Amino acid sequence: MPTYKAPLRDIEFVLHEVFDAEKHYQSLGFSDVNRELIDTILAESAKFTEQELDPIRHSGDEIGARLTDGKVVTPPGFTEAFNAYRENGWAAMSCATEWGGQGLPHSLMILFHEMAFTANVAWCAAGTLTHGAIRAIEAHASDELKAAYLPKLVSAEWTGTMCLTEPQAGSDVGLVKTRAEPENDGSYRITGTKIFITQGENDYSTNIIHLVLARLPDAPKGPKGISLFIVPKFLPTPKNEPGSRNAVSCGALEKKMGLKASPTCVLNFDGATGWMIGSPNGGLAAMFTMMNAARLDVGIEGLGAAELSFQGALAYARERLQMRAPTEPVCPEKPADPIIAHPDVRRMLMTQKALSEGCRALAYSIALALDTQDHASGDVKKQAADLIALLTPINKAFLTDRGLECANYGVQVFGGHGYICENGMEQIVRDVRIALIYEGTNGIQANDLIGRKLAGSRGKLVFDYIDQAEAFCLGNKFERLASMVASLQQHLKEWRQISEHILDAGKQGPNYTAAVAVYYLDYAGYVVLAYLWARMAQVAAEQLAKGTGNTYFYDAKLITAQFYFEQILPRTRSLVELVKASPASIMGLPEDCFGF
C-alpha cells in the first residue's frame, strides 16, 4: 500500500531554485510572502495531506460514496477531513480578502492541490470545483450575486459544481437542451438533466451552488446560444443562510471505474430557480473561466498519480527480493536481490521519476504565470496570459497521459501483487483514468492546441515560447549540460519546422490537422519538459559548482535529466513522422468495412 510522503525537497527546489518564487511574489506586490511563509505553507500542506487525506484513500475506494433517500453519504473520514480543511483556512487561502479570503497568490493554493491530489484525489473535487466556481462568479457575476454567494463559497461552508454535460451533449456543449425560462422577478426557471456532475450532492457543506449551462427560449442554436446560471440547492434567505429547497435533486450516482469515494451525480432540474451569470448567450465564455482553472487542476491529478505510483513502486522495489542482479549479487547474504537492482525495473522507476519531476516543473510554471496574469499589468500580464493559453492544453493532456503511464509502471513493478486491490497500486490506475477524459478529453486539448493556439495565433504563441527556450540554450555555460542543450536546440528547431508545416496544412486536406493534433501535442509536451529539465539541470550544476547544498540531490537531478534526454525525449522521433503523415489511412476505410 503506497504511503504518501510529500516530496518537499523537490517542491522547494522547483519553487525556489528554478523559479525564484519569493522574488516572483514580491514583484507582484505580495511583500509579506517570503521564503519563511512559503515553506511554512508547504510544511503544513504536507502535514494535512499526509495525516488527514492519505490514511482514508484506500478505505474510501473500498466503501465508496452512497446515495440514500436522495442524500449522498461519503466514506468515513471524508467529511471530517473536509471540516478540517475548512476550519484550518485552506479553502480561503488564495481567495480575495473582500470575500473573506486570505488574499495569498493563487499558485500557493495550487501547491496545496498537488499534495492533496497525490494523497487522495477522490477527496479533492469539492474544494477544487468550488475554487473554479469562485473564479467564474468573480469574473462574470453581478455585484449582487457576488455578495450573496462568494463569502460562503470562499469559507467552504458552501461548495460549488460545474454542470455542463447532458446525455446527448458531452464534448459538444452546443447540443445542450436544458431550458431557462425567465421570470418577472429577474430569476429563471431551469429545467433539464445533467449527468457526470462531480460533487453534485455531498455531505460536506450546508449548500451546493450549481453553475449550470442552459438555453433561453429565443437562444440561437449551437454554443453561441448557451447562458450560465447560478442554481443553489437551497435558496438563500435574506440573512444568506440556506432556506427552502430548490427544485434540483440527485437522481442517481454513477457506478465508475475509479474515484469511487467521489460522488458523480445525475442531477434533475425541475423548474429550479436560478440567476444568470454574465450576459445572455454568453455562458460558454463564463464557464471557460471555471473550466480553465479545472484543466490546470486535472493536469496536476496526472502529476499526483505519477508521484504516488513512483513512491509506492520505489518502496516495493527496494524490499522485494527476486533473482540475482545481472552483474553480481547485490545482497549475497539473502536468497535473491531486491528488484531495484534489475535494469528493467530501474527503467520503469527512472521513467516515473523523470516524468513526475518534469511535470511538476511544467505545472508550477503555469501556476506562477496565473499569479502574473491576475496581478500584473501591460505587456507582462499579456505575456503571462499567452503562456497560460499555450501551456494549459499541454498541461492537461500531457500530464494526465504521463500520469496514467507512470501508474501502469507502478502496477508492473509490483508484478502480480500490483494487480491485487489490497496493495493499492491498481487504484491509482483506476483513479487517474478519468483525468484523460473530463474537463475536455485529451483529444479536445490537442485540437485546442493545434487549432486555437497554433493556427489561431499564426504560430506566435508557439514561436514566442521557442524563442525563450532558445535564449536559455545560448546562455548555457556548463560542459556537463552541453549534450542536453544541443539536443534541446535541435528539438526546438524541429518544433518550429513542424509548426510551420502544420500552418501550411491546407495542402493536406481538411482532416489533416485534426488527425495529427494528438501527435503534435505529445511532441510539444516532450520538448517543453526537455526545456524545463535543462533549466533544472543548470540549477543543479550551478549548485555543485558552488559546492553548496546536498551533493546527492543535485547529482540525482543531473542524472535524471540525462535519463530524460537519452531515454524519453527520443520518443519524439516517431511523433515527427506521424505529424508529417497523410490522414488518408486514418480516414480512408469506409465505415461499413470496420467490422464484418
pLDDT in tens, 567-584: 999 999 999 999 999 898
Kindly indicate the confidence band of residue 338, based on its pLDDT and cuts at 50, 70 and 90: very high
Please tell me the predicted confidence (pLDDT) of residue 93: 97
181 belongs to a structural domain = yes
Residues 565 and 489 in one domain: yes
The 3-state DSSP class for residue 494 equals helix
What are φ and ψ of residue 124, in 5° steps?
Answer: -80, -25
Do residues 530 and 565 lie in contact, with contact meaning Cβ atoms separated by under 8 Å?
A: yes
Residues 17 and 129 in one domain: yes
Q: What angle do CA 374, 15, 369 make, to 5 degrees?
A: 25
Q: Which residue has the higher pLDDT, 106 or 294?
A: 106
The DSSP-derived string for 366-399 is: HHHHHHHHHH--HHHHHHHHHHHHHHHHHHHHHH
For 520, the grid coordinates are: 503534435
pLDDT at 549 over 90: no
Range from 71-80, 472-481, 518-527 carrying the lowest mean pLDDT: 472-481
Domain span at 164 = 160-281
174 belongs to a structural domain = yes
Residues 171 and 254 in one domain: yes
Share above pLDDT 90 across residues of the chain, in percent, rounded to a whole number = 93
Please tell me the predicted confidence (pLDDT) of residue 1: 87
350 belongs to a structural domain = no
Pairing of strands 227-232, 158-163: unpaired
Residue finishing a domain among 255, 281, 307? 281
pLDDT at 285 over 90: no
Residues 215 and 265 in one domain: yes
Please tell me the predicted confidence (pLDDT) of residue 289: 83
Mean pLDDT to the nearest integer, 524-533: 98
For the segment 46-69, what is each residue's pLDDT rounded down to a tens digit? 999 999 999 999 999 999 999 999
Mean pLDDT to the nearest integer, 225-229: 97
pLDDT at 4 over 70: yes
Please tell me the predicted confidence (pLDDT) of residue 509: 79
The DSSP-derived string for 427-465 is: HHHHHHHGGGTSSS-HHHHHHIIIIIIIITTTTHHHHHH
Do residues 145 and 160 lie in contact, with contact meaning Cβ atoms separated by under 8 Å?
A: no
pLDDT at 527 over 80: yes
544 belongs to a structural domain = yes
Residue finishing a domain among 260, 281, 302? 281
Which phi-psi region, left, alpha or beta, contains residue 354 (left: φ > 0; alpha: ψ -120 to 50)?
A: alpha
In this structure, the chain runs to a length of 596
Mean pLDDT to the nearest integer, 224-237: 96
Mean pLDDT to the nearest integer, 301-329: 97
Average pLDDT, the chain: 96
Residues 127 and 209 in one domain: no
Annotated catalytic residue 87:
no
Residues 518 and 577 in one domain: yes
595 belongs to a structural domain = no
Of 17, 114, 357, 439, the active-site residue reads: 439
Residues 578 and 475 in one domain: yes
Residue 457 CA to residue 461 CA, distance in Å, equals 6
pLDDT at 539 over 70: yes
Kindly indicate the confidence band of residue 596, based on its pLDDT and cuts at 50, 70 and 90: confident
pLDDT at 506 over 70: no
Least Cα distance to 210 among 254, 237, 178, 186 occurs for: 178
What are φ and ψ of residue 570, in 5° steps?
Answer: -60, -10
Do residues 180 and 192 lie in contact, with contact meaning Cβ atoms separated by under 8 Å?
A: no
Mean pLDDT to the nearest integer, 156-171: 95
Residues 475 and 568 in one domain: yes
537 belongs to a structural domain = yes
Mean pLDDT to the nearest integer, 169-197: 95
312 belongs to a structural domain = no
Kindly indicate the confidence band of residue 141, based on its pLDDT and cuts at 50, 70 and 90: very high
Residue finishing a domain among 108, 139, 170? 139
Please tell me the predicted confidence (pLDDT) of residue 361: 98
128 belongs to a structural domain = yes
Kindly indicate the confidence band of residue 550, based on its pLDDT and cuts at 50, 70 and 90: confident
Domain with residue 219: its CATH number is 2.40.110.20
Question: Cα–Cα distances in Å, from 319 out to 155, 309, 336?
Answer: 44, 16, 11
**190 DSSP β-pair partners:** 180, 272
Residues 168 and 237 in one domain: yes
Residues 125 and 13 in one domain: yes
Residues 195 and 96 in one domain: no
Residues 571 and 471 in one domain: yes
Q: What angle do CA 493, 495, 498 make, to 5 degrees?
A: 110
Domain with residue 29: its CATH number is 1.10.540.10
Question: Roughly what angle, to the nearest 10 degrees, separates helices 283-319 and 106-140?
Answer: 160
Number of domains observed in the structure of the chain: 3
